[in-house]
Structure formats: C-alpha cells, structure tokens
C-alpha cells in the first residue's frame, strides 16, 4: 500500500536547486519531469483543499456568545473559511533524477487570511486573521518510453499544510486511516509517506461508504472544551455538483475523530482532514490561527 522515502531523497532534494513555475537553467530531463508533473490530473496535487468558500457552521449550542477563556465551552462561529491566494503563492519544485527514477518535491507558501464570522446576524461578514501556510507534497516518476513526456507517475504523498512559522505548529495530525465498506485501504502516520498510484492510492467507486479516522495532538494551551475542532473537506460527496464541502468530524472516546461519507460521483481529488485549535474559530481578529491539514489523494470510479 505504501513505501517510504529514504534519507537520500530528503538530502538530495534540499541540496538541489529549487525550480519555480517557469524553471530556467534545468536540464532537458529535468524539464521533461517538470512537465510530466504538470500533466498529471490536478486532483492528485490540489493545492487548495477545502476551497475558498466562507461556509456556515452548524450550531453546536444554543448560545450566540463566544468564549475564549480556558475551560469555557467551544461555540461554533456563524461562518468561517479561508482565502489562501490573496497574494500570489511562492511555489518551488525540486527535481532529483537518480537513474530511471525522478523525485519531485513541491513547496507552496501562502500568505492568506483565515475568515471567522461571530456576528450571528444572518449574513457572512467575517473578520480576517493572518494565515501564513506552507503546503508540501512529493511524487515519484519512472522512465517510460510510452509516456508522453518519457516519465510516468508511480507514487504520490499526501499534501501536508502547516503554519510557515514552526513556532505556530502546535496542532499536529498524528495519524489518518481510510476505510471503504469496512475494509482499511489507507493509513498515514507520516506525511512524507509515498503511496503507489496503482495499489496504494485508495480507489473508490460511486456508492462506496468511506470512513475517515484521524488522531490529533494539540499543545496550543488555550484549553477550550474541546480544545480542537476537526473537519473533513470533500469534493465527491454530492451527485449534483463537483464543489468542495465541509463536514465536522465526531470525537471518539479514544482521542480520535471520525466521520463517514458516501461517494456520489467519479473523479480524482484529495479528502482533506483539517485540525484547528478551537480558539482560532472563536475570534474575528488576533494572531491565533493554529491548524494542520492532511490531504489524502484518491480516485473515485463510476
């Protein structure tokens, strides 16, 4: 189902020269790998899991007053969402070719806004807070004379989105599992894990029942009750449209969160688990955005 990158990959990748969206000074082979990466279905490498809609939250209590003191209960805001691309992202792609294998490591840095609406006036009019994030994912290609660019994708990682400032990475997803019709088809304990495109990336079918379970660590220290909110972002859960939707995951007694969904349409995308410190959703201003997202690729077939 999966295999791991070694120390050589990490060392070589970060020693290599990073390539921009329009790389210059690269070899013809590196340029071919770059183009092969860009030719892959964009669903495997979606850089904005969850999209940029400001969506309403289901009310978890009847109170319209939000609290932000330790021990106070969390109350869902009226609306919330993200805007990652207010400024053009900084994007680097590193290509490392070793024999007949090419490794592509991607880092995308966003200077966006986290939008929270606590007005409870029936209209989405959120305040905006700093949200500087970095998304990282990587992929492996092999030489293939029959592939259009001479390189064929064989493995991908999930997308891991963290705060660009390491000091703000106090919410951390520790593990994620995916079950289909009661059978586990994917497990992630390290965001650098690689999943083979054939036999590793979950292959779903319309009508399948999918269960997602996640474990999260939160050391932020704001200590609302509960201190962490976890959501699942999806694209193929509705038959009538191909748009991002958001579902709140349910806490379990063992410190994990889980939620089920049904595949309603075919396509390639990422199911994105989104763990957020509760206080980030309680205020319209302030520098308190703390979150981690793991975006796991899948294929949904008819």
Sequential DSSP letters for 22-87: S--S--HHHHHHHHHHHHS-GGGG-SSTT-S--EE---SSS------STTPBP---SEEEEE--SS
User: Does the pLDDT value for residue 31 go beyond 60?
Assistant: yes
State the pLDDT at residue 235: 92
Tell me, what's the pLDDT at 71?
Answer: 60
Read off the pTM: 0.88
Specify the DSSP class assigned to residue 12.
Answer: H
Task: Tell me the average pLDDT across 248-272.
Answer: 95
% pLDDT > 70, the chain = 86
**Mean pLDDT to the nearest integer, 9-14:** 40
The H or E element containing residue 290 is none
The pLDDT of residue 3 is above 80: no
Q: Number of structural domains, the chain? A: 1
| Residue 16 pLDDT level (bands cut at 50, 70, 90) | very low
Give the mean pLDDT of 215-241: 93
Report the distance separating Cα 231 and Cα 258, nearest Å: 9
- In this prediction, residues 31-38 reach a mean pLDDT of 96
CB 97 within 8 A of CB 143: no
Q: Residue 130: is its pLDDT beyond 80?
A: yes
Tokens of 84: 């990652």
On whether the CB atoms of residues 25 and 17 are closer than 8 A, the answer is: yes
User: Angle at CA 33, nearest 5°, toward 273 and 11?
Assistant: 70
Q: Average the pLDDT over 100-126 and give the result.
A: 94
- Mean pLDDT for the chain overall: 88
Q: Is 132 exposed, middle or buried (0-12, 13-18, 19+ CB in 10 A)?
A: middle
- In the predicted model, what is the mean pLDDT of residues 41-45? 95
Instruction: Please say whether the beta carbons of 80 and 302 come within 8 A.
Output: no
Which whole-number Å values give the CA distances from 82 to 52, 268, 294, in the listed order?
A: 5, 22, 16
User: pLDDT of 142-176, one tens digit each?
Assistant: 999 999 999 999 999 999 999 999 999 999 999 99
Query: In this predicted structure, what is the pLDDT of residue 2?
Result: 46
Print the domain residue range for 276.
2-301
pLDDT recorded at residue 222: 87
Q: In which band, very low, low, confident or very high, does the pLDDT at 58 lie, cut at 50, 70 and 90?
A: low
34: pLDDT strictly greater than 90: yes
CA distance 69 to 177: 33
> Which of 9-23, 76-90, 192-206 is least confident?
9-23
Give every CB contact of residue 209 below 8 A, 6+ residues apart in sequence. 180, 181, 182, 260, 261, 262
Signed CA dihedral, 46, 52, 58, 59: sign only: positive
Q: What pLDDT is stored for residue 54 in this prediction?
A: 87
Rounded mean pLDDT, 22-37 = 80
**Distance from the Cα of residue 143 to its chain's centroid:** 28
CATH of the domain at 197: 2.60.40.10
What DSSP string runs through 130-148? EEEEEEEEEEEEEE-TTST
Distances (CA, A) of 54 to 38, 114, 117, 284: 29, 10, 9, 13
Rounded CA Rg of the chain: 20
Q: Which of 9, 16, 84, 10 is nearest to 46 (CA)?
A: 84
Asked if pLDDT for residue 20 goes beyond 80, the answer is no
Instruction: Look at residue 181 and give its three-state secondary structure.
Output: coil
| Statement: residue 203 has pLDDT above 90 | yes
The arithmetic mean of pLDDT across residues 246-254, rounded, is 93
pLDDT at 97 over 90: yes
In what order do the strands lie in the sheet containing 209-218?
183-188, 171-180, 209-218, 256-262, 250-251
pLDDT bin (cut points 50, 70, 90) of residue 17 is very low
What H or E segment, with its residue span, contains residue 121? none
Is residue 200 predicted with pLDDT exceeding 60? yes
pLDDT average, residue stretch 101-115: 97
Q: Residue 124: its pLDDT value, please?
A: 84
């Amino acid at each position: 189902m999966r295999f791991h990158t070694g120390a050589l990959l990490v060392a070589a990748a970060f020693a290599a020269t990073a390539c921009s969206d329009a790389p210059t000074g690269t070899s013809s082979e590196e340029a071919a790998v770059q183009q092969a990466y860009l030719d892959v279905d964009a669903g495997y490498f979606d850089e904005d899991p969850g999209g940029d809609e400001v969506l309403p939250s289901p009310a978890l209590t009847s109170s319209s007053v939000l609290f932000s003191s330790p021990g106070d209960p969390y109350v869902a805001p009226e609306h919330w969402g993200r805007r990652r691309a207010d400024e053009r992202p900084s994007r680097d792609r590193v290509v490392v070719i070793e024999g007949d294998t090419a490794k592509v490591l991607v880092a995308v840095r966003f200077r966006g806004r986290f939008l929270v609406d606590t007005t409870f006036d029936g209209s989405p009019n959120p305040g905006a807070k700093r949200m500087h994030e970095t998304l990282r994912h990587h992929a492996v290609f092999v030489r293939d004379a029959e592939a259009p660019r001479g390189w064929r994708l064989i493995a991908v990682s999930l997308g891991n989105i963290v705060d660009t400032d390491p000091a703000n990475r106090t919410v951390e997803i520790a593990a994620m599992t995916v079950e289909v019709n009661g059978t586990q088809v994917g497990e992630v304990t390290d965001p650098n894990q690689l999943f083979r495109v054939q036999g590793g990336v979950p292959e779903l079918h319309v009508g399948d029942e999918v269960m997602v379970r996640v474990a999260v660590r939160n050391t932020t220290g704001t200590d609302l009750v509960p201190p962490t909110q976890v959501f699942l972002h999806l694209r193929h859960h509705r038959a009538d449209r191909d748009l991002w939707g958001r579902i709140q995951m349910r806490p379990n007694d063992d410190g994990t969160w889980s939620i089920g969904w049904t595949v309603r349409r075919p396509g390639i995308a990422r199911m994105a688990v989104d763990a957020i410190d509760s206080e980030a959703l309680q205020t319209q201003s302030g520098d308190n955005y703390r979150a981690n997202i793991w975006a796991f690729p899948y294929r949904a077939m008819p």
